[in-house]
Structure 1
Amino acid sequence: MTTKINSILKLRYFILVLSISLLSCEADVREVYLYTPGKLEATSTNTAIKAGETVTYTSTSTKVRAIKWTFQGGSPGSSADPNVTVKYAKGGSFTTTLEITYVDNLTEKKTFAVEVEAPAIPPVVVPVDGLKIYSDSPDFTKTAQTLNWVSSNQFVISQVAEGGYEEAFRSFTLPATPPAAEAKWAMAILQFTAVTDISSYTYLNLAVRTTSTGKIRFRMKDASNTGYVEFDATSNLYGLKRDGNWNMVQIPIAKYKEQNPLLDLTKIKDILVLRSVDPEDVRTLNNYTFDIDHIYLSK
């Protein structure tokens, strides 16, 4: 009888413990979320720029504990900000690296490449027996006899005190509004006050700055004959670019003679004549402006 009572008590105790355990488990139920790792996401605004321009880098990465940018060739050289604008002062091929440290201390990297076009550097001019025609450069020891700039048609010639290839320069600009801009052609002349022998020289050199898309001829004239070299907007002939920068142009004088064999290089009156090209109508070219500086002859 005693054994049976003990068995019943043990069974009741087991049921009680089981019930308490079940109730306890039910109370400890929790919602479980699966862990999603962080993701590296970043962009740059450009991959090819000119020196002096900027690129903006932006990180929109998730679950980030730390950001580290490294900008090769740029300023600033590094940053911990998610959004950074970087300036590149020199030309070259550069790499930007983004290193992300996530909240779980894992790291990931991404690189960006940027090509920076170097700024145009005016060449150092060391003239060989150079004949100075229009130049502020101290390199020239010879000076041509007196010259005159003449606006023959339409071009308004002005001297600008600074900002030239050397400092001061001449600007040849079409008038913006009528009645001055009535004709479809334009011309301006740089002429000697007396005929000059340039037959011992090989090149006519000059610095030119323009964005004009119009054709233009650089002419040379004796008393009655004219030879010319024609430039369009795409060829970059003899270094004449239409990029808005100062570019040194070196024209073989023989090309003037080749265009017109009658041109007498021993008796040149007009050393430089800027002339538009027919049938092109300069009135339709709102950027028909040519800045001229640093003109000289060299052997």
Structure 2
Amino acid sequence: MTIKLNHIAKLKYLFLVLSIGLFSCEEDVREVYLYNKGKLEAVSTSTSIKAGETVTYTDSSTKIRAIKWTFQGGSPGSSIDPNVEVKYTKGGSFTTTLEITFVDNTIQKKTFAVEVEAPAIPPIVVPVDGLKIYSDNPDFTKTAPVLNWVSSNQFVIKETADGGYEAAYRTFSLPAAPPAAEAKWAMAILQFVNVTDISSYTHINMAVRTTSTGKIRFRMKDASNTGYVEFDATSNLYGLKRDGNWNMVKIPIADYKKQNPLLDLTKIKDILVLRSVDPEDVRSLNNYTFDIDHIYLSK
């Protein structure tokens, strides 16, 4: 009986101590704040543009550790900057993806869609009295003698079956990476198998597509003399734009003679020579590519 009374007394004492402790802590209450996760917030300036225009993408997410943009069909193709201006040069439906890594290592993604209106292709011209050099168009009544495409230095020349000004086209580009691109200059040649008299024509015409920022010369050559016309990246000389679209370029043949009066137009061997311009180093240019189609002479 005594043991039982002692046990009850101990329980009452414990209850009393707990009650005093709880009442004594009533004034020492602390507020607890739960962790707020980061939030993905990003916008684009447009969802519908024309080829050659730009869209600006802006990320304003909070509590981020890393960001990564991927721009389908755009230039640049990717970025880790919070604010990026992207240029679209070809038509189509493209997707941009933003991937955010927050400070707690969680990852969220957001996608943006953009519709790019394709540029209008200039009409295909077939002159009544023109000389077809490189063209899929069957309407030419005069065709140049047999031609050869020659990579003289650096340029990799290949024919692509479609997507050209008419369909197939030739593309001239530098090797993708060293050591293939060892020299600082590049050249490629379109030459007649036999010397050809072009003295009755006044212009050489061609469709050109490029975004290259490099200088380039279009040259002609007889047996020993060379004349050329030089293009920079900003002048749009004779219609050669660097906007990534097909543009018709029309060059007066007299300009080749003006640069070199010794050029003999009755004995042309190389009708089109693409040559980089010294001292510019083409290895420092990541876009030294030129697509060419629909080459002909006109009066």
TM range (shorter): 0.5 to 0.7
Which SS does the other structure have where 1:180 is aligned?
coil
In the other structure, the counterpart of 1:143 is: 143
Task: Decide whether the 8 Å contact of 1:127 with 1:139 is kept in 2.
Answer: no
Distance 1:161 1:48 in 2: 29
Map of 1:119-198 to 2, 5 A cutoff? 119-198=119-198
3-state SS, counterpart of residue 152 of structure 2: strand
Partners of 1:258 and 1:273 in 2: how far apart? 17
Contact 1:219–1:227, Cα closer than 8 Å, also in 2: yes
Which position in structure 2 is the counterpart of 1:262? 262
Please state whether the residue corresponding to 2:183 is helix, strand or coil: coil
Q: Distance in 2 between matches of 1:207 and 1:197?
A: 23
Is the contact made by 1:195 and 1:269 (CA closer than 8 Å) also made in structure 2? yes
Following TM superposition, by how much is the alpha carbon of 1:51 offset from its aligned partner in structure 2, in angstroms? 6.2
Which residue in the other structure is 1:271 paired with?
271
- Within 2, Cα distance between the matches of 1:193 and 1:128? 25
Aligned-partner Cα distance in 1 for 2:225–2:251: 19
- Give the whole-Å Cα distance in 2 for the aligned partners of 1:53 and 1:247: 17
Query: Aligned partners of 2:185 and 2:54: how far apart in 1?
Result: 41
Which has the greater radius of gyration?
1
Q: Which stretches in structure 2 are left out of the alignment for 5+ residues?
A: 1-42, 56-115
Aligned letter for 2:294? H
**Which blocks of at least 5 consecutive residues in structure 1 are unaligned?**
1-42, 56-115
Residue number in structure 2 paired with 1:245 = 245
Amino acid aligned to 1:155:
F
Shift of 1:143: 1.0
Q: What amino acid is aligned across from residue 134 of structure 1 in structure 2? A: Y
Q: CA deviation at 1:44?
A: 9.6
What secondary structure, in the 3-state scheme, does the structure 1 residue paired with 2:265 have?
Answer: coil
Measure, in 1, the Cα distance between the counterparts of 2:223 and 2:144.
Answer: 18
Give the secondary-structure state (helix, strand or coil) at the position aligned to 2:283.
Answer: helix
Task: Quote the residue 2:215 is aligned against.
Answer: 215
In structure 1, the residue matched to 2:294 is 294
Take 1:298 and 1:223, find their aligned partners in 2: how far apart are those partners? 23
Superposed CA RMSD: 2.5
1:202–1:128 distance in 2 versus 1, CA, 3 Å: farther
**Distance in 2, Cα, partners of 1:288 & 1:51:** 20
Question: Could you tell me which amino acid in structure 2 is paired with residue 255 of structure 1?
Answer: D
Q: Superposed, which structure 2 residues align to 1:52-67 within 5 Å? A: none
CA distance in 1, matches of 2:224, 2:165: 32
In the alignment, the residues of structure 1 paired with residue 288 and residue 51 of structure 2 have an alpha-carbon distance, to the nearest angstrom, of 27
Secondary structure of the residue aligned to 1:291 is strand
